[in-house]
Amino acid sequence: MLVYLLKLLVILPLIGALAWGMLRLAQKMQARIGAAPAGGKTVRIVETTMLSPTLKLAVIEFHGREILVSASRQGLTRLAEAPAREVGE
């Protein structure tokens, strides 16, 4: 019984440290992958708003256009489209 408790006291912190390390590694990798060159991405989510637990509005910028879409369990629906605004506006 004492051997079991000693193993448990050694293994549990190791598992916790491994989990913490994997989370940190995942965050670093995600940040590195997300940091693409300025001209590399053609689609960008400008803003999102939750209307209800199952309905979300999103403004997506794509090739110089802003597209308003609704996202629900049934899928995406394009609601409106306009020229992209400048960053300072």
pLDDT digits (tens, 9 = 90+) for 10-20: 999 999 999 99
Report which residue type is found at 86: E
Domain count, the chain: 2
State whether 86 and 50 are in the same domain: yes
State whether 50 and 78 are in the same domain: yes
State whether 50 and 73 are in the same domain: yes
Single pTM value for the model? 0.51
The CB density around residue 66, as the number of other CB atoms within 10 Å, is 17
State whether 28 and 41 are in the same domain: no
Closest C-alpha to 43, from 26, 25, 62, 27: 62
State whether 50 and 61 are in the same domain: yes
pLDDT digits (tens, 9 = 90+) for 52-85: 999 999 999 988 899 999 999 999 999 999 988 7
State whether 42 and 62 are in the same domain: yes
State whether 29 and 68 are in the same domain: no
Q: Does the pLDDT of residue 50 top 80, yes or no?
A: yes
